[in-house]
Amino acid sequence: MRKLFLSGAAISTLILAAACNGPQAPSEQAANTDDAKHEAVMTDNILLAEWTGPYGGVPAFDKADLAALKPALEIGMAKNLEEIDAIANNPDAPTFENTIVAMERSGRDLGRVFTYWGIWSSNRSSPEFRAIQGEMAPKLSEFSSKITQNAALFARVKAVFEGEEMASLRPDQQRVVQLTYDGFARNGATLNEADKARYAAINQELAGLHTKFGNNVLADEEGYVLYLDEEQIRGLPASFVQSAAAGATSRGHEGSHAITNTRSSMSPFLTYSTERDLRQKVWETYYSRGDNADDKDNNAIIAEILKLRDERVKLLGYENYASWRLENRMAKTPARALELMEAVWPAALARVEEEVADMQAIADAEGAGITIEPWDYRFYAEKVRKSKYDLDSDEVKQYLQLDKLREAMFFVAGELFGFNFAPVPEGQVPVFHEDVKVWEVTNKANGEHIGLWYLDPFARPGKRSGAWATTYRSYENFDGKLTVLGSNNSNFIKGAPGEPVLVSWDDAQTFFHEFGHALHFFSSKVDYPTLNGGVRDYTEFQSQLLERWLSTDEVINNYLVHHETGEPIPAALVAKIKAAATFNQGFSTTEYLASALMDMRYHTSDPAGIDPDAFERENMIALKAPREIPMRHRSPHFGHIFSGEGYSAGYYGYMWADVLTADAAEAFAEAPGGFYDKDIAKKLVDNLFAVRNAVDPADAYRAFRGRDARIEALMRDRGFPVTTQDGEE
């Protein structure tokens, strides 16, 4: 179960991010009832009810009723506050057991509600849900502030943190105390009453703004679909055409082809469409999400978010928002995060110049009479790929079947982690959509039940774009073992009936990436809920590392087979894939780093009077960002940092994690057994997966590698020049 002691920042992130979730009872009555009435309401409201059924109980997704959500939240908050008050007012002297552990036990009922909330928020959103979301976000923030600003509770936490008992606790218990204390101290518990009130008010305002930002982006994604006829789909692969046709049919446009306003639809269209005017239209529509000077425009919201975040951390005495955010991350300071990004940025820009020159040469040779524009980059990059490496992405795609990739991931999980995945018979475990399938995860060696893995693979209206992993229940073992309910969610385009779903190499890597998060969940051996968390510039490492197994011989030779013939992918094609491993790194590195640098600049600058459109434009000029490549996430749809605070001033974390990833991958490459070396795999699982946040990430990595990670590994990995301390390459 998720621990519901959350800061205002964390609660707003939980509301919007997936990594966070009978008769209706009258909400006002439910929020002000006594314990007996609480129990009656909770029995009637399916969202609050204890999970029943197999595997230690599972969410009743098939019975979830949106009408029950608001009262469930209200009764859940009321019950949680009663639990907190009982802890705070305990007449006994504060101890680890009666204060910290008691807090770990609290919030179970509300935690169950948030599981359903997360599904409605990310997988099956609707105007009705968004209305509830908009109303409840400030209330949830207020609820969180009542906990973080409970003076009596903080006094007990502080007494345990500073008391003699601390020295006698196990290291993991000491870390729970430390993290709990920091959660209070970093979120206003030490402020005077007036500043506490303002801090709480800011959190409420931010919760509403984050919600509105995310919903505006989702509305722009849902509200635009480009329908094309047969003359307008030239150049597009057959598999994409079939998927687009199926998408149009499902939307009532039989005979057309639907190009949706999501990355999973935009990217392949820009890669293959020969219709340059349509490429431009699709590009402009996608990159203008949240930036159309209408009622869904997010620029004013960004300005207000930045102003409020800055005011809030100034109350705590921090120079800027980024300094507050990074204090407990691996990077520690904005300067260290910027140092990493600025070390890589020049090499990325230099590579972009080479890539654009190669593209322009092909366009000129073809007599296209154009200058490469952003909507041309993917299209001509594909031509360069074919020219330089004789590698056709669509040819590769014929060997990347979604179902086979899933089997490959199960194979890797078995070899490295000792996990077995077996399909759960349909109907045995409730799901929230017919596309969702469930597998039981067990220990291969002894058959021990570890958890359930839910997969929701396909795009649909109401589902947010992108790919993500989440838990419905995390592992814990301090009051008896709770097994894991983990989920992966993607937005692949569903194929025509009976046709396999074929994906790109990049999408296959993303599939492995998100599965890496799931393996992190299933590997947990921590006792306490708090320790299932982590710091943002570290938790992406485990998932990024798992991408490396896609290109191992064991996966390539056994799971990459042609969808029609069943023949394994030819060795010659594999050689081309590996030869092109660092191809287009200028594009991928620059579009990411542009967003990460912009995030850091937003959160280290004075927000007074900021105009996000102008700020973004001026900073891209100052960074000498190439005009041919936009930020991966332009500011008005940068949900990572503005629809919540999970990645705010922390988007750099993917690159920080990439350094760890490249360095750890070299450890496997150097091992006698390569990427399937049993000794290195055990060190990986024991030190970097199973401990979750029970160990400081820097210490955990040193335990695995015997030293800190080195940036040189990242530069080698991307094919960039590696500079020695003497400045020589």
- The answer to whether residues 195 and 99 belong to one domain is yes
Whether the CB-CB separation of 529 and 2 falls below 8 Å is answered with: yes
- The answer to whether residues 79 and 100 belong to one domain is yes
CB crowding 251-271: b at 16 or more within 10 Å, else e:
eeeeebbbbbbbbbbbbbbbb
Annotated catalytic, 514? yes
Q: Which of 276, 280, 267 is nearest to 503 (CA)?
A: 267
Question: What is the layout of strands, in order, in the sheet containing 437-443?
Answer: 419-423, 437-443, 449-458, 484-492, 468-473
Among 514, 540, 616, 645, the active-site one is 514
**Euclidean distance between the first and the last CA atom of the chain, given in angstroms as a whole number:** 50
Report if residue 14 sits inside a domain.
yes
- The answer to whether residues 49 and 189 belong to one domain is yes
Q: What's the CA angle centered on 274, arms 269 and 280, to 5 degrees?
A: 60
d(CA 670, CA 716): 15
pLDDT of residue 39: 54
| DSSP per-residue string spanning 382-404 | HHHHHHHH---HHHHHTT-BHHH
DSSP letter, residue 311: H
pLDDT of residue 637: 97
**Which residue carries 């919030």 as its tokens?**
107
User: By CB neighbour count within 10 A (0-12 exposed, 13-18 middle, 19+ buried), where does 238 fall?
Assistant: exposed
Report if residue 410 sits inside a domain.
no
- The answer to whether residues 154 and 239 belong to one domain is no
Q: Name the domain count of the chain.
A: 3
Handedness of CA 156, 158, 159, 163 (dihedral sign): positive
Distances (CA, A) of 292 to 220, 261, 354, 619: 9, 14, 33, 21
What is the longest distance spanned by two Cα atoms in the chain?
84
Q: Which residues of the chain have pLDDT under 50?
A: 1-34, 36-37, 40, 725-729
Show which of 218, 239, 266 is a domain's final residue.
218
**Which residue carries 């959660």 as its tokens?**
183
Q: Which of 586, 549, 556 is nearest to 665 (CA)?
A: 549
d(CA 274, CA 258): 17
pTM: 0.86
Query: For the domain that residue 353 is a member of, what is the CATH number?
Result: 1.10.1370.10
Show which of 651, 679, 708 is a domain's final residue.
651
Whether the CB-CB separation of 279 and 270 falls below 8 Å is answered with: yes
- The answer to whether residues 368 and 328 belong to one domain is yes
DSSP letter, residue 233: -
Q: 22 lies in which domain range?
A: 8-218
Report if residue 399 sits inside a domain.
no
For the beta carbon of residue 22, count every other beta carbon within 10 angstroms. 14
pLDDT of residue 170: 97
For the beta carbon of residue 588, count every other beta carbon within 10 angstroms. 17
- The answer to whether residues 39 and 132 belong to one domain is yes
- The answer to whether residues 178 and 56 belong to one domain is yes
Query: For the domain that residue 117 is a member of, what is the CATH number?
Result: 1.10.1370.40
